[in-house]
Structure 1
């Protein structure tokens, strides 16, 4: 009987991992589509580099603020309700993107898309906290985190093929249908929380967030994530345009070139997750510091090479180095914060990273315009951001893993 129960729990965990994994792949595919689609969109709508920057960054503005609200909702209502609602909402606005008719309509739809997807990351953390032990969470979270690269790889190939065959407007409704199908799977496969937590009084809710903000780990990891995300999301947004304008690669081959770094990074992220679980908390600081430093170095090499194969190699190594930061950042709330603060802590930390997703493409667009179409200034801005992330990581105090997990998050307050 006991063996049967353990087997059922094992398969339930496997099914949970599978459905969340697929949802993340769809989420990132929906997100990256604009990076390639903006090329024909800009041509059709007559957008300049600055306007393209706002189109690329609009999603991340509302997405960042929803990290805070999404974390609170997931902590209170549980993962199933928030995850399902997020998928349905973002799928609707993904589909509507294909119906935009102007620069303004496109930006507004992208802002609404960000609201829909914004609660998904903290709700995902709550789902992991509700269903997995702390010693398992690093690997599970890294697997989910790695979907950014698998989704980006799938999205790059899918987008290039659909745009080449049918035009950019059909790409978004096709992805929206995929999202609705995943939402239906969530309804049947995720169990709702047995009870809804009582809402905190307003003063207590403020105290809840202030307590997290007073913890140096929260804001230092948040700053590391902001600076590292500046590099990654800046590259993600502008690399297709760079490959087309500077390197002369057509859209279909852009999809193939983009797939290589993301597939390599998928495996690298899962490797880092295993290292975190096996090696312990004291590896968090060197992983983030070395990852940020290597990102900067490989991006410099990418900027200075004239060889296309070497550019793809350095780009791949840069993104793989980024996974050292990425996988580590998102295990921090799961490892060192009590379960009732996991969603809020994840939301606070991820807020900074997603604001970088809004700020970086906009600043890069202005820098590209200021440098008369050259990407040197824009890429130098990304190198500086990665270097700052490395410096902040070197100042991070590693928690004592022998301490009671409920109090580890407050150790350095």
Structure 2
């Protein structure tokens, strides 16, 4: 097995288990609330505490990875996930859950930027889109696996035992990362330009960083708004019963998986020099697909619009990751990604609540769909504005 294949495999496993540990509490929620007399509002606070920790850890995790390397962070991170996942089954108070889930969010957030640093370190510019896309297919396949397995564990053994069991995959992930990811950089696109010698404070003043951050904010707003409200939209606006919703809601994930592979193939193939335009086109088509989904007069067209949205959002993911790594200075690659991710996570935290408020205030999903389409338009514009920065970077590293 080649080094590149081993790295992709380790990163895929890491994302897959990352998702399983993250959503385990969602499947345990009903049992936890019944056993511990937690209200939905209290359980919502517990869920939100993860997001806060995850967002706060992005930049510190990036700085640690830039200083010590991606591998140590990607080994220690899953060990911490395992500890705090197991601890979730041992606490019984609201304060205890908030503290444990906050720490769990921090432990997962510390590893986020290292994922991209590992890709940047072990793949050249052309190959990064494909590597990121293949690795990220884990997040489209994990939802289908999570519901069946975690739900079964809760039903058979109870939620406390489920959390203890879910610590095991995280331990295996740490071992996989240790043995599969090389300790040193290979095949990285090295640069000796003056840009890479800048301090992190100077990096924070770069227009490319903030254009990418705005674009990521728009992308995450749509991704989290879409994921959070798609099932409810099908039930409330389209009248789909709960038995059917599971099948229909899984269709867009299949298209998302295909979109990742297509985007990685195009972004590392004949369109690798046109990645910004590939991302812009995918965003605009995704926004138009949202409008189609809302205006559709039949259920088939609505699901087709939602599936096209998922496909194009994920077509953009691999090429966008490659663009981000191309623009990041080698010295602060992970910290650069951490800043972009922090801004993106802020959108992820805000989107479900903002869309919910709009739907409640207007009595219609029109404003929510319209806002998501507008967010994608802004994300496309800011990505288009990055093309001069990419050209400059390409000339500097040539």
Q: Distance in 1 between matches of 2:24 and 2:11?
A: 20
Match of 1:332 in 2: 323
Alignment of 1:46 with 2:39, yes or no, is yes
Is the Cα contact below 8 Å between 1:157 and 1:259 reproduced in 2? Answer: no
Q: Please, which moves more after superposition, 134-143 or 15-24?
A: 134-143
Q: Distance in 2 between matches of 1:242 and 1:108?
A: 33
Q: Distance in 1 between matches of 2:357 and 2:33?
A: 16
Match of 1:316 in 2: 307
Q: Secondary structure of 2:50's partner?
A: helix
Match of 1:71 in 2: 62
The Cα shift of 1:36 comes to 5.8
The Cα shift of 1:156 comes to 4.3
Is the Cα contact below 8 Å between 1:35 and 1:237 reproduced in 2? Answer: no
Alignment of 1:61 with 2:61, yes or no, is no
Q: Please, which moves more after superposition, 81-90 or 165-174?
A: 165-174
The Cα shift of 1:356 comes to 1.5
Alignment of 1:271 with 2:262, yes or no, is yes
Match of 1:403 in 2: 395
Matches within 5 A, 1:77-226: 77-98=68-89, 101=92, 105-159=96-150, 172-193=163-184, 208-226=199-217
Is the Cα contact below 8 Å between 1:225 and 1:326 reproduced in 2? Answer: no
RMSD: 3.4
Q: Distance in 2 between matches of 1:18 and 1:84?
A: 14
Q: Please, which moves more after superposition, 260-269 or 75-84?
A: 260-269
Match of 2:189 in 1: none
Q: Secondary structure of 2:310's partner?
A: helix
The Cα shift of 1:39 comes to 6.6
Is the Cα contact below 8 Å between 2:280 and 2:383 reproduced in 1? Answer: yes
Which runs of no fewer than 5 residues in structure 1 stay unpaired?
A: 1-9, 195-204, 407-413
Q: Distance in 2 between matches of 1:68 and 1:135?
A: 26
TM-score, structure 2 as length reference: 0.81
After superposition, the C-alpha distances for 1:13-46 in whole angstroms (9 at most, x for unaligned) are 3222212211111112333455666577678633
After superposition, the C-alpha distances for 1:125-147 in whole angstroms (9 at most, x for unaligned) are 22223333333222112222332
The Cα shift of 1:96 comes to 3.8
Point out 4+ residue stretches in structure 1 off by more than 6 angstroms: 39-44, 164-167
Q: Please, which moves more after superposition, 211-220 or 27-36?
A: 27-36
Alignment of 1:359 with 2:345, yes or no, is no
Q: Distance in 2 between matches of 1:104 and 1:379?
A: 36
Q: Distance in 2 between matches of 1:304 and 1:56?
A: 33
Q: Distance in 2 between matches of 1:371 and 1:38?
A: 30
The Cα shift of 1:181 comes to 1.7
Q: Secondary structure of 2:40's partner?
A: coil
Q: Which of residues 338, 353, 377 in structure 2 aligns to 1:387?
A: 377
How has the CA–CA distance of structure 1 residues 100 and 368 changed in structure 2, closer, same or farther, with 3 Å as cutoff? Answer: farther
The Cα shift of 1:229 comes to 0.5
Q: Distance in 1 between matches of 2:47 and 2:355?
A: 11
Is the Cα contact below 8 Å between 1:142 and 1:273 reproduced in 2? Answer: yes
Which runs of no fewer than 5 residues in structure 2 stay unpaired?
A: 186-195
Q: Distance in 2 between matches of 1:243 and 1:29?
A: 25
Q: Distance in 1 between matches of 2:30 and 2:234?
A: 11
Match of 1:198 in 2: none
How has the CA–CA distance of structure 1 residues 97 and 216 changed in structure 2, closer, same or farther, with 3 Å as cutoff? Answer: same
Q: Distance in 2 between matches of 1:95 and 1:363?
A: 33
Is the Cα contact below 8 Å between 1:54 and 1:362 reproduced in 2? Answer: no
How has the CA–CA distance of structure 1 residues 236 and 211 changed in structure 2, closer, same or farther, with 3 Å as cutoff? Answer: same
Q: Distance in 2 between matches of 1:377 and 1:307?
A: 20
The Cα shift of 1:72 comes to 0.9
